[in-house]
Chains A and B, each alone.
Chain A
Amino acid sequence: MDEPVLSVRGLRTHFMTSERTIKAVDGLSYDLASGKTLAVVGESGSGKSVHALSILGLLPDSPRHSVAGEIFYRGQDLLKMPLAQLRAVRGNRIAMIFQEPMTSLNPVLRVGEQISEVIVHHQKKAKAEAWSQAVSLLHKVGIPNPEERAEDFPHQFSGGMRQRAMIAIALACSPDVLIADEPTTALDVTIQAQILELMKGLQREFGMAIVLITHNIGVVAEMADDVVVMYAGHPVEIASVDELFHSPKHPYTRGLLASVPSIYERKERLAAIPGQPPDLAVRTEGCIFAPRCVDVMDRCRHEDPPDFQLPRGRISHCWLAEKEAVTWRR
C-alpha cells in the first residue's frame, strides 16, 4: 500500500456536560491512500460526522469536548498542530463539503466571491485573478454560464447547483483530501447521481482522496474503495467495498445490509435489526452492539471484543472473528 495521505489513530472525541460524558467517537483508526475513497457509514449518532469535524478541528467550543488520539496528514499530527498551521491546511490541503449547501454558503456573498476568497487566502493571488479562477472552477463543476452565475447569490441557485458551488470551493486549492459529509443526502436522486458522477470525475482528474460520510448503503457501493462501518462511536468493521458487501463479518454490518430494501428484488420481509441504538452516555459492559445482536453469546455481554485484524487489512470488532484473526488490538 502507498504511504497513506491521511491516517487516523485511536481517535476519541468525548463531549462533557455537567452530568455526563458522551463518547461520540471512541477509538477510530484507519488509513486513507491518495486517490482512494473511504466511506464512513453509520446511522445517526454513530459518530461519523463528529469524526470529520474532529479531523479539521471544527467542533464548536460548546459543549466542552476532548479530542484524543492522532490524525496524521502527510506525517504531521493535525491534533498537535498550532492553529495558524492548521489553518493553512484546512480548506487548502484538506477541504470539506457539507450536507446542507444552503446553510453552509454565505447568503449575502456572491457565489464567485465565496470561491475566490479561498484562493486569495491560501494562494495569495490578486482578486481579479482569483475571480477568473472561480469562474473556471464553476465551469469545471458543471454550472452553465459560469461568468454570469458567479455573480449570483446562493439563493438564486438550485439545491444541486449549490452543492456544485460547495464542491468548487472545496476544490479551489486542489486539495489532497476531500471530506464529504452526506454530500447528496439533501438532493433528489437524479441530482444525486449527477453529483456522485461529478465527484468521481474530479477525483480521477485531481487524484484527491475522499472521505465520504454517508448513511446510504447504495452510495457506499457506488463510490467507495474501502468502508468503515460505525456503530455508536465504534468502528465495528473495516473492509474493502467488495468484501464488505459479499462477506460481511460483523453482525451489525450483516443486519444493516439485510435491512435495506432493494430495487432489484422484492423481499417478503426486511430483516430489521431489533431494538434501538444505545445511549452513548451510559457505559455498558461488554460489546456495545450485544443488546441488539442476533448472534450474541454470553461472552459478548461481559467482555468487549478487541479489533480483530483479518487477512487483507480487514478488521472486525466481534468475538466471532477471533478464529480467523491474524492479530488484534485494543
Chain B
Amino acid sequence: MTEAPLLEVRGLKKHFIEGRGFFGGKATVKAVDGVSFSVMPQESFALVGESGCGKSTLGKLALALEKPTTGQVFFDGRDMSGLTSKELRAVRSQIQVIFQDPYSSLNPRMTVSEILTEPWIIHGRYKDRKERALKLAKLMDDCGIAKSYQSRHAHEFSGGQRQRIGIARALALDPRLIVADEPVSALDVSIQAQILNLLKDLQTQRKLAYLFISHDFSVVRHLCSRVAVMYLGRVVETADTEALFRDPQHPYTEALLSAVPVPDPAIVQRRHRILLSGDVPSPLHPPSGCHFHPRCHYVQDSCRVNDPALLPIRLGQSVACPILPFKDKRSAAALIASPEV
C-alpha cells in the first residue's frame, strides 16, 4: 500500500482516574491501553468488541473529543494534539460522527432544516440563501429524507428516519471520515437493513471512509473491509473482514464468532459452539498477562504472566496470542468457516 492513511492511531492509551478508592487510593480504568491502527481513505474499518472493551472511547479519541493519556492520533498526516483550536475546527469538519441513539442525538427544539444547516452556519459555508436551499434539498434527497420534512421536528419521526437525519447532518460538511458508533443497533431489523444500504451507497457516492464501531459481527461483515477485535482496552486481532470470518485466529475472536446467533436452524444444529465461561473482567482490575487468559480454552502458564504483543501472522492479519501454533485448529474455527460441511 503506497497510499497514506487517512486516520492513524499510534500507541494510544486513555486511562481514567476513577475518583478515590475505599481507602483513599485511586483506581485507574485503562479504557484504551496501547492501540495502534490506521484507516485508509475510502475504507471502512470496524472496531468490534463487547461492552467495556474501549471501542467507543477509541472513537472519541479519533474525533479529538477526548485527549489521549499517551499516544497520537494523526489525521491526514497531522498530529491532532499539536493543532490550535482553530486548526482543529477545520480538521473536524472533515471528521464527522453518527451516534447510536437517534432519539437523544437530535435537538428536539430544532427543525430538520435547522439541524442540517447548522454545520454550514458554524463553518461559514454556502452563505448564499439560494445555494444553501439547493444544497439542503440535495443532502436530504441523498439520505432519503422527504422534502416535506424540512420544517418538522425530530420527535415527529421514527427511529429510522431520525437516523437518516443524523447521517445527513454528518454529511453536511462533506467529510472524508465518518465515525459511526453503533449506528444501527437501536433500529429494528427491517429498518436496519435500509440504513446499512444507505451507508453503503453514500460511501461509494461520496468516497467516504468509515470508522465503524459495533458489537454486531454480522453488520460488520456486511459493511466493513477490515476489522479490529478489541478486548479490555486492547486489540487482540486485526484482519481483512473475509480472512477474519473465514479463519479467526485469536481464541477470543473464535469464541465471539461462534456465539453469534445464526438465522438458520440447519447451521445451528451443525455448528460447534465455544461457550466462554464467566464475564468480562472489570477494567478496573484486568487480569495479569494476557487479559483474556481466565476465559481462554487454550490457556498456557506463560499466558498468565506475559503480555502478548500484536504480531503479524500473514499479510493483513495480526494476532496478539503467542500460543497460536499449539492451538488445535480443527476446533470451531473450521466449522464456522464452512457451515456446509
Contacts and interface: CB of A to CB of B under 8 A. Distances in A.
A43 B189 contact: yes
B279 A217 contact: no
Given A189-B215, A259-B192, A276-B158, A222 B276 contact: no
Contacts of B262: 218, 221-222, 262-264
Nearest to B337: A264
Nearest to B160: A276
A262 to B, nearest CB: 6
A245 B188 contact: no
B259 A190 contact: yes
A188 B214 CA distance: 12
Nearest to B267: A264
Which of A158, A242, A261, A276 has most B Cβ within 10 Å? A261
Nearest to A265: B221
Interface string A265-309: 011011111101100000000000000000000000000000000
B82 interface: no
Interface residues of A, number: 45
B217 interface: yes
Nearest to A157: B279
A272 B194 contact: yes
11 contacts: A188-B280, A190-B255, A193-B273, A196-B261, A220-B263, A222-B262, A222-B268, A255-B190, A261-B219, A273-B193, A276-B161
Which interface residue of B51, B259, B273, B276 has the most chain A CB atoms within 10 A?
Answer: B259
Interface string A34-61: 0000000001100000000000000000
Contacts, number: 136
B330 to A, nearest CB: 19
A230 interface: no
B261 A190 contact: no
A255 to B, nearest CB: 6
B78 interface: no
A192 B158 contact: no
Contacts of B329: none
Given A158-B279, A259-B193, A189 B222 contact: no
A241 interface: yes
Contacts of B50: 188-191
Interface in B182-199: 188-194, 196-197
A218 B264 CA distance: 7
B193 A270 contact: yes
A269 B190 contact: no
A161 interface: yes
Interface of B: 50-51, 158, 160-161, 188-194, 196-197, 200, 215, 217-219, 221-222, 241-242, 245, 255-268, 273, 275-277, 279-280, 336, 339
Contacts of A217: 189, 261, 263
Interface of A: 43-44, 158, 160-161, 188-194, 196-197, 215-222, 241-242, 245-246, 255-257, 259-264, 266-267, 269-274, 276-277
Contact of B275 (A43, A160, A197): A197
Contacts of B192: 259
Contacts of A161: 279
A255 B275 CA distance: 31
A245 B263 contact: yes
B275 A193 contact: yes
A219 B259 CA distance: 11
A216 B188 CA distance: 9
Nearest to A274: B194
Given A221-B261, A245-B265, A260-B189, A160 B279 contact: yes
A261 B276 CA distance: 24
Contacts of A242: 265-266
A272 B261 CA distance: 20
Contact of B242 (A188, A193, A266): A266
A266 B194 contact: no
A194 B190 CA distance: 27
A122 to B, nearest CB: 31
